[in-house]
Structure formats: C-alpha cells, structure tokens
C-alpha cells in the first residue's frame, strides 16, 4: 500500500517510546471494578483525560456512577466533515489471585518484548494507541476534513453502563464511523456476537434430607431444564451452522446456585435452584424467540409436580453486529 505524503507526515510523529511508556503508566493504574470498596475506573479515566487535555483536545469528564466516569475528547477538523471515533474502555477484569502471577498484576513489567499486566492487552494498549494516533495528528498540523472523537468509557466488562450513557447523552449521534480499539491480533474484526443473559429460578419445597418426601426438590427440574437447554443449543447450531467470522452460537449455563440464597447444607433439600444462561448470538438468531423457548422448557421441567413453579427473566440483550466488507472504513483499513 502506498503511503501518501499526509499519512507519512502523521506517521513521522508517532513516538514509539512514549507509546510504551504510556501503556505501562496506564496499566499500573488498577481499574478493576470492586463494588465492595467502590474502587473503579476513576483514576485511569483521570489519567486519560489529562493526556487529552495536554494535547489540546476538547475534553469532557462525565460521571456515569460515583467513581465510574467516561472521558470524551474531541479533535476538531475543518469543513464540518464526518466524525471518526476511537473507542476503548478503562475497566479491566479481575486479576484473580496475585500469587498466581509471575510478576505483580499491575507492575507492567517488560519482558521478551511484551508488557505484562492485568489489562495491558484488554485494553489499556488499545486505548493508548488511540491517544498516540490522535496526538500524532495534532502534532503534525495536518488539518483533517473531519473530526476525531476519543471515547474512553467505563464498565465494558460488566453491564456496559458507560457506552449506554455515552449514547443516552447524544454523543453517538455525531459519530459517522468507529474503530473499536480492542485486541484482535492485528486483524480487522467486522462482526461481533450478541449476548443474552437469562436468570431462571425453580422453586420447590425445602425439606430435611431424612424426610425428602415432605418437600419437593428443585434440583431435579433444574437438571431437566438444563438438559433441554443443551438440546436447544444443538438445534440452533444445526439451524445456523458456523458463521464465517463468529463460529457457532452457544448457550452456556454459567452460574448454578442451590439453594439460591442462604448456605447449602449436606442434609437439607434446597427450596429453590437458580441458573444464569449465557446466550452468544450470531446474525439471524432471534433473542425473543429463544427466551420464549426457555419459558416453555422451564414449564415442561416443572410439570411433574404442581408444587413446583419457576421464574424466567431476561437480564439483558445485546444484538449481534456485522459491518459490510465494502463499507468505506473497512475498505480503507483492509
């Protein structure tokens, strides 16, 4: 691919040493959301906002929930042209047991050409790349025929309250195209699975293990339900096959609680059993229809005893997405 004079002018302002330094700095700021202590993304977001202000961007610091802000920064071009968004998130998943790490999880140690730290890959590095790219554009004095918008949002690893707030406040209305700076092994990712989470609770009657006939065990109908859910997954795979980019759809029971509240005991039959179902959707699947099927299957699983009842609730739906191969941004980056 031939690089234009303007592109070369911008690329000449990419500072690799600063990029590495910034990735280390941002990785060293823990930004795991910890509800028990209230610790979250604020320190990381303030670091991002400071870098944006240093390069002269119009910077907005918007609190979504206490300690959980979004940072939105704008570099204005000329001619009132289109807006390209660089999107990333400041939160990272839990580091787990620090004793299992070779180095401290937030040390951002460089070894064998890699930076090791929780969130270095997902996605402090991608966020820093967006900052460095924008900084190079600013310092090159190239006047774009459009705008750059950086969105560093909170809570991508949870309920996505950050990007929802970004949309609710109207920021997305001005965005014509977006590059999501997630790690994809340097490949363009033009499709994304959707997700639906459901909670299903089956209620029976608690009893002592020595007198099980005085109660109704909720574990058995839950076992029947999960068997039916597995068969639904197999039917969906047979219907939709393997997507070119996303592979097969799936339905995964991720949490199973019995009893659903309180402490389990070896000699007590649970009064209720609860599961969370994680649906990963590919284009063409119908989330509402799938939720209806779970309702039908839960009713069937409880049909053996009139004392059994169930509750099935959709917690969240995020639909699958696909960007066409011939979209201008895809063609330009391919």
N- to C-terminal Cα separation, the chain: 10
Measured distance CA(242)–CA(90) in Å, rounded:
32
Measured distance CA(311)–CA(272) in Å, rounded:
11
Positions annotated as catalytic residues are 91, 156
Burial 140-169 (b: 16+ CB within 10 A, else e): beeebebbbbbbbbbbbbeebbbbebbeee
Dihedral pair phi/psi, residue 215, rounded to 5°:
-130, -170
Residues whose CB is less than 8 angstroms from the CB of residue 146 and which lie 6 or more positions away in sequence, other chains included: 77, 79, 81, 82, 83, 84, 176
Q: Which parts of the chain fold into alpha helices (H)?
A: 5-11, 16-27, 42-54, 125-140, 161-168, 219-240, 287-301, 328-333
Q: Do 13 and 140 meet the contact criterion of CB atoms below 8 Å apart?
A: yes
CA distances from 26 to 7, 18, 258, 278, 306 (A): 27, 12, 41, 31, 57
């Amino acid at each position: 691919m031939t690089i234009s004079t303007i592109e070369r002018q911008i690329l000449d302002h990419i500072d690799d040493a600063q990029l590495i330094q910034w990735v280390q700095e941002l990785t060293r700021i823990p930004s795991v959301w910890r509800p028990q202590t209230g610790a979250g993304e604020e320190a990381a977001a303030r670091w991002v906002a400071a870098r944006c202000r240093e390069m002269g961007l119009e910077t907005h610091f918007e609190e979504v929930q206490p300690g959980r802000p979004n940072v939105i920064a704008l570099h204005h071009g000329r001619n009132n042209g289109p807006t390209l968004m660089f999107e990333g998130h400041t939160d990272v998943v839990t580091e787990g047991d620090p004793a299992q790490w070779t180095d401290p999880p937030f040390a951002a140690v460089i070894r064998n050409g890699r930076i090791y730290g929780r969130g270095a890959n997902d996605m402090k590095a991608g966020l820093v790349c967006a900052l460095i790219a924008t900084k190079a554009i600013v310092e090159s004095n190239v006047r774009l025929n459009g705008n750059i918008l950086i969105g560093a949002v909170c809570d991508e690893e949870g309920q996505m309250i950050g990007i929802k707030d970004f949309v609710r406040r109207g920021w997305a209305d001005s965005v014509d195209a977006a590059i999501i700076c997630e790690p994809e092994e340097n490949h363009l990712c033009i499709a994304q699975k959707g997700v639906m989470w459901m909670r299903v609770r089956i209620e029976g009657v608690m009893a002592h293990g020595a007198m099980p006939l005085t109660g109704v065990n909720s574990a058995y109908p839950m076992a029947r339900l999960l068997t039916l859910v597995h068969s639904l997954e197999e039917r969906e795979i047979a219907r939709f096959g393997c997507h070119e980019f996303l592979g097969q759809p799936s339905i995964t029971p991720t949490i199973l609680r019995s009893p659903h509240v309180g402490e389990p005991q070896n000699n007590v039959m649970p009064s209720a059993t609860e599961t969370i179902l994680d649906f990963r959707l590919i284009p063409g699947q119908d989330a509402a229809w799938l939720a209806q099927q779970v309702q039908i299957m839960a009713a069937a699983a409880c049909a053996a005893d009139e004392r059994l009842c169930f509750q099935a609730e959709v917690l969240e739906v995020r639909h699958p997405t696909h960007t066409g191969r011939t979209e201008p941004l895809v063609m330009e980056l391919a």
